[in-house]
Amino acid sequence: MGMVAPLGLTVEENWQALLAGKSGVTRTRKFPAETFPTTFSAQVPPLDLSQYTDRASEFAHSGDNVRFAVAASRMAYDDSGLTPDSVAPERFGVYLGSGEGPADFYAFIRSLAAGLRDGAIDIGAYYRAGLKHYDIMNEWEQEPGRSSAHLARLYGALGPNYNTLTACAASTQAIGEAMMAIRRGDADAMLTGGTHTMIQPFGVMGFNLLTAIATEPREHPEKASCPFDSKRSGFVMGEGSSILVIEELEHALARGAKIHAELLGFGSSADAYRMTDIHPEGRGPVACLEAAMADAGISKDEIDYVNAHGTSTTENDKVETLSLKKFFGARAPQVPVSSIKGSMGHLIAAAGATELIACVLAIRDQVLPPTLNYEDPDEGLDLDYVPNKARPARVETCLSESFGFGGQNDALVVRRYRA
């Protein structure tokens, strides 16, 4: 496993900060955001790519999506113990949930300004200005699929190579479908997970227009992400990358791999409802959870912990709670459910992979990460949200769920590896 996220530049840094109840939400540094309704975000600490690869100069034009993935993948690859000799290149693949870089918006603004004529755009003038201002390689390197292409090149992975951008469910879907590729016999091992940043003017402006991200409290941004709390008013934009190596069991055992956990099941569904709203009865999430359990082949009574999508938006947290009640039935109040987005914001396409790693570490350390900033219960939201403090617990099997704009729902079941 590998991770660069708002709480640190390694898996352990992020995990220990989560357990300590720390917040990665601060004033936005990546662009001048003082005039925006939202002035804070959860940003990755300064990253020196040369600490992760001796080919750092090759990524001079790359977007942060690529740079984050290069760093996280190096940690995951090293942690896995894989070598070029331990897996056949054509049996080693990549599947990421990856978003945009972002592009050079200042070049876009300069070019657009040069093309304005009495309130209209002179396309010819815009094009000529673009030739002057745009770095074409830089623009190409912001494209979402660049991350998976670069990882294949870095590790000599000649097998299946995919990228998905199903919004906030992307990396959960990528991991699930990477597992399916191994099951089908298409690969022996896959680098999978997610990478994304939308902390840029267009990203923040878009979500402000949708009223989807929090705008308060400006003076205490660490309090802004409060999943399942009555004061929740929107998510906090985060960024980062979490990458895992998943592998066919017999292949892993044959090379003496260190096995962190076992992926048991994957479920996916669509709400087929609205582009930005979950179906109010939770039909998509429930179908997804049921599919994941059927794929895992275990009883839902075996689930010890749920890592929730838990965005801190009014609608998500209400419908997600309803969905879990429908799914677990009378047992729902006894199942711990927490959201790490209270600590590190919403990593968008990278969120699901980050949360799956939190599940694996919960199993390893027998402790549940808390839901930060849970202070005022909301009517009907009455599950065990593990408020504010990490909790020792028996954890053998976890459920990690992700829901994305467009109605995409994905879930993974992970269990302690039983030799």
List active site positions.
Answer: 168, 309, 346
Question: Which two tokens mark 31?
Answer: 């662009």
Neighbours of 84 (CB within 10 A): 10
* Dihedral of alpha carbons 305, 307, 308, 312, sign: positive
**Distance, CA of 95 to CA of 153 (rounded, Å):** 13
The number of residues making up the chain comes to 419
Look-up: residue for tokens 């999508």? Answer: 309
User: Do residues 234 and 215 make contact, with C-beta atoms less than 8 angstroms apart?
Assistant: yes
Look-up: residue for tokens 């670069």? Answer: 150
Question: Which two tokens mark 111?
Answer: 């070019």
Question: Which two tokens mark 173?
Answer: 């879907």
Cis status, amide bond into 89, omega within 30 of 0: no
* Dihedral of alpha carbons 220, 224, 230, 234, sign: positive
Q: Kindly tell me the burial class for residue 22, based on how many C-beta atoms sit within 10 Å of its own C-beta (0-12, 13-18, 19 or more).
A: middle
- Please report which helix (H) or strand (E) contains residue 281, including its range: none
- Closest among 32, 201, 35 to 104, alpha carbons compared: 201
**Distance, CA of 359 to CA of 16 (rounded, Å):** 14
Question: Which two tokens mark 82?
Answer: 């894989």
In this structure, are strands 391-392 and 367-368 parallel, antiparallel, or unpaired?
antiparallel
